[in-house]
Amino acid sequence: MSRVVVGMSGGVDSSVTAALLKEQGHDVIGLFMKNWEELDADGVCSSAQDFEDVVRVCEKLDVPYFSVEFIKEYRDNVFRQFLEQYEAGYTPNPDILCNKEIKFDVFMKRAMELGADYFATGHYARVLRSDGGGVMLGRGVDTGKDQSYFLHAVNSEALSKVLFPVGELQKSEVREIARRYDLATKDKKDSTGICFIGERDFREFLSRYVPAKPGAFRNLAGERVGEHVGSAFYTLGQRKGLGLGGQGEPWFVVAKDQNSNTVYVERGTEHSALYSRELWAKNPTWISSDPCAETGTFEGTAKVRYRQQDQVCQVSKTEDGCYLVRFKDEQRAVTPGQFVVFYNGDACLGGAVIDRVGPTLWERNRS
């Protein structure tokens, strides 16, 4: 019998993870993590509510539970970088950094201090183990819920001690199991968005930390079409919250110039300035080894955002250590600061931060 510490969030997925492991005969311990201390838009501390659900689930399953805080570590290693990236004009993804720096690092180490043989979470992913002891990150069986994109920066050493029980299930099966056990979270709504923002207005939250710096909305012809509150508050492909009207199709953000604090917009969801085929990525994290190590290139598939369908691409390592990704098809609104994540079939190879994007279709048509 193995001792498994389950990272419990107060949601149905981690609750069912604990139930399944207990059912399999493991010595299960629930461990809740608090990373944020502010109240939400309604003046409620969501982490306190989540912990109450963890307590109810663990008591139902008759497993011990503990709570730990990593507020300082989260602010230093995740939130600070999140703000720095926004101020620099990028659009970061803090959930990926949280998995790498917090959940599967300091949180997992705390779990191991409880004598754990394995650390388990409710992520929809799989650990692919070879006969030789090697591990790879695999997609979750439920392709609509697969979270390997968010886990690509977790190293193989950590993965070797990780279990993802619900990664073998469909979401509907997880709900059924929760109802069978009559868990307190059986009908709880799935959480969405960035954990420290929750359901509140994103721009209002960000404005507490990033100062407003009004500037011009311009079209690609250079004409001023409105005023924005600061280029840091907008991302490529954004439609909502621009405050631009007039007759015609909706406006979309197609480019930003951080130096001049200009946000470029054009009308139409399919405008050619939103599409490109190339990107350069930096700061890679490979789960096993660099697939470009031997030949300098590899062919596979990639995603530039969560839930995107796999896109066929060729990846080449450049002399400066970056990775040039050339896609077979045009990609819409590829965003610097986000991550490109690479796959070989069901195996996730790793990913890198998108640094810049190649010429857009609009630029190519002009040349």
Phi, psi of 273 (to 5 degrees): -75, -10
Rg of the chain in Å (alpha carbons) = 22
d(CA 20, CA 254): 46
d(CA 197, CA 51): 18
Q: What are the residues facing 315 on neighbouring strands?
A: 298, 325
Structure tokens, 364: 């190519």
- Nearest CA to 351 out of 299, 309, 291 is that of 291
Instruction: Indicate the residue type of 58.
Output: C
Q: Is 195 a catalytic residue?
A: yes
The catalytic position among 45, 58, 195, 313 is 195
The catalytic position among 45, 58, 98, 292 is 98
Q: What are the residues facing 324 on neighbouring strands?
A: 280, 316
d(CA 40, CA 89): 26
d(CA 71, CA 263): 34
Concatenating the DSSP letter of every residue in 78-141 gives: IIHHHHHHHHTT----HHHHHIIIIIIIIHHHHHHHTT-SEEE---SEEEEE-TTS-EEEEE-S
Q: Are 121 and 14 in contact, with CB atoms under 8 Å apart? A: yes
Concatenating the DSSP letter of every residue in 301-352 gives: EEESSTTPPPEEEEEEE-TTS-EEEEEEEEEE---BTBEEEEEETTEEEEEE
CA dihedral 286, 292, 297, 300 (to 10 degrees): -40
Write out the catalytic residue numbers. Answer: 98, 195
